[in-house]
Amino acid sequence: RKEVEQDPGPFNVPEGATVAFNCTYSNSASQSFFWYRQDCRKEPKLLMSVYSSGNEDGRFTAQLNRASQYISLLIRDSKLSDSATYLCVVNRAGTALIFGKGTTLSVSS
């Protein structure tokens, strides 16, 4: 089983839609959780960290369920500029980031 698993998509949604991405991780020792965004032919960039209590940044909401080892990202009111690949990322102390394969989102007008 891969350490971080995501539905690869693609998710094709119209502008204004709400879309949710899910991610599961296998190692219960994982301590930190993130969503990164990668545009086509570009480097990954941090979108947001994910905290146990859940956190929101504008139209983006991230949730973490440690018991189920499950992470989610909700995007409300999708914009064309949200089209990208969203990478679920976990980290254990003293190790590098472990990336999921990513979920591709395409927002159309």
Work out whether 22 is an interface residue with other proteins (CB under 8 A): no
Nearer to other proteins, 60 or 99 (CB): 99
Helices (H) and strands (E) in the chain, counts: 0, 11
Shortest Å distance, C-beta 16 to other proteins: 27
Using CB atoms within 10 A of its CB, is residue 103 exposed (0-12), middle (13-18) or buried (19+)? buried
Work out whether 45 is an interface residue with other proteins (CB under 8 A): yes
With contact defined as beta carbons under 8 Å apart, do 97 and 87 qualify? no
Work out whether 32 is an interface residue with other proteins (CB under 8 A): yes
Cα–Cα–Cα angle for 68, 48, 8, nearest 5°?
60
Work out whether 96 is an interface residue with other proteins (CB under 8 A): yes
- Residues of this chain that bind other proteins (CB under 8 A): 31-32, 34, 42-46, 49, 85, 87, 91-99, 101-102
